[in-house]
Amino acid sequence: TSPDEPAIQFAASHDYNGFASRELAHRREAGYPPYTTLARVILRGESYEEVHETAKVLSKLLRTSEAAESHPRIRILGPAPAPIARLRGQHRFHLQIAAPDVQTIASLWSETLRTFEPQADVEFTVDIDPLDMR
């Protein structure tokens, strides 16, 4: 981080309002919270192949769902190895879903779960508006 970074400049001058205004404008433009709801789906299991394949199947189901195809503001990213790709002996992949609100994510997820059949040894969790992406 450089001293010329705007965040550093705002902090040095104790300009919270200036920082917040700039950060919120960037978040609106990029489609990040609080202007969008994010959901992170983390899949994990002992077999790399099973976790990866399950993540690909889930991604395809999400992308081809009626909810996703009918709503232009839904974005699905991934799957990709999680930043911490292996934890406690388990391989980890993740997907990110961005939508205008939590209700849209809930309807997308509900529709997807009707046909999603994960491998028996693959677990998954969903984190709404995650605080970190590790």
CA distances from 66 to 40, 69, 72, 112 (A): 20, 5, 11, 9
Beta pairing class for 75-87 and 90-99? antiparallel
Distance CA(104)–CA(107), nearest Å, equals 5
Domain of 116?
A: 37-128
Residues 92 and 119 in one domain: yes
* Same-domain pairing of 46 and 105: yes
104 secondary structure, DSSP code? H
Count of domains for the chain: 2
Per-residue confidence in pLDDT tens, the chain, 134 aa: 688 888 899 989 999 999 999 999 998 998 888 899 999 999 999 999 999 999 999 999 999 988 888 888 899 999 999 999 999 999 999 999 999 999 999 999 999 999 998 888 999 999 998 887 77
Number of neighbours of residue 76 by Cβ within 10 angstroms: 21
Residues 24 and 55 in one domain: no
61 belongs to a structural domain: yes
- What CATH code is carried by the domain that includes residue 99? 3.30.70.600
Q: Is position 101 within any domain?
A: yes
Looking at the structure, tell me whether residues 74 and 106 fall in a common domain.
Answer: yes
Query: Do 66 and 118 lie in a common domain?
Result: yes
The reply to whether 49 and 74 lie within a common domain is yes
Cα separation of 61 and 32, whole Å? Answer: 23
